[in-house]
Structure 1
Amino acid sequence: MIIGIGSDLIDIRRIEQTLERFGDRFTNRVFTEVERARSDRRKERAASYAKRFAAKEACSKALGSGIRMGVNWREMGVVNLPSGKPTVVLTGGALRQLEQLTPAGLIARIDLTITDDHPWAQAFVVISAWPENWPGAAQTTG
């Protein structure tokens, strides 16, 4: 069952300008250590950060909270599964929001797709809830 859908589109040039103007102050405020390490290794650093920023925006929309209501940027971290597939790991207020959305007896799964084609970066998030023994429930956050 789908319990939330979110999407976001961002201009990579906006993130480039923000990185130039605020540098570490911006990245430390918005991104997890894992996200910073991954993006800072990329040749297209701004595009990598832009995709992750769009993913956070899309996730906050899927949670129904936006970046408020007890949810902050670093509580939504884009990580890659061993297969390379991106997903979002939630902590703190974001995780509590997900728990409130998830029907009793089901477990939540967050699916994420991110892409970029200069000057745009885009993300889509689908949050679904599954019975624990359902094969699709294997890729969950946490």
Structure 2
Amino acid sequence: MILGIGTDLCNIDRIAAVLDRHGDRFRNRVFTERELSRARSRAHEAATLAKRWAAKEACSKALGTGLRMGIAWRDMAVGNLDTGQPVMVLTGWAAVRLADMTPPGHRAVVHVTLTDDHPWAQAFVVIEALPLPGA
């Protein structure tokens, strides 16, 4: 069953301007070291971070909270499988919220997809509850 859906559209040039204006203060407030490392390895850091910004916004919407109720930017992080597929990693309050919204006898799966086409970056997040074996 679907527990939550979220989407966000982010302007890459806006993220680039924030990076120019606030630099590491912005980077370290919003992104994990793993996300920053990935962005540094890319040709277009701002596009990579804009997609991750959009994913965090989309995830907060799918969690049903937006960016309030104690959720922090760094509680939601985008990682990648060896295949390159993006995955959401939730920690802190975001993980607590996910556990609270997951019905008994189920496990939550957070699906994320990212795309960009300058000047836009977009993300969709779907949170699904799957029955546990034997439940």
TM-score range, shorter chain: over 0.9
Counterpart for residue 116 of structure 2: 116
Deviation of the 1:83 alpha carbon: 2.5
AA aligned to 2:97 is Q
Provide the rounded CA distance (Å) in 2 between the counterparts of 1:82 and 1:107.
23
The residue correspondences of 1:1-142 to structure 2 (distance < 5 A) are 1-133=1-133
- Residues 78-123 of structure 1 show CA distances to partners (whole Å, capped at 9, x for unaligned) of 0012322101000010000101110011000010000000000000
Q: Work out the number of aligned pairs and report it.
A: 134
Deviation of the 1:26 alpha carbon: 0.2
Provide the rounded CA distance (Å) in 1 between the counterparts of 2:8 and 2:60.
10
Provide the rounded CA distance (Å) in 2 between the counterparts of 1:133 and 1:32.
33
Identity in percent? 59
TM-score normalised by the chain length of structure 1: 0.92
Question: What's the secondary structure of 1:68's corresponding residue?
Answer: coil
Provide the rounded CA distance (Å) in 2 between the counterparts of 1:42 and 1:94.
27
Provide the rounded CA distance (Å) in 2 between the counterparts of 1:62 and 1:123.
11
Deviation of the 1:5 alpha carbon: 0.1
AA aligned to 1:58 is A
AA aligned to 1:63 is L
Deviation of the 1:68 alpha carbon: 1.0
Q: Give the unaligned 5+ runs of structure 2.
A: none
TM-score normalised by the chain length of structure 2: 0.96
Deviation of the 1:41 alpha carbon: 1.2
Q: Give the unaligned 5+ runs of structure 1.
A: 135-142
- Residues 31-51 of structure 1 show CA distances to partners (whole Å, capped at 9, x for unaligned) of 011000000111111000000
4+ residue segments displaced more than 2 Å = none
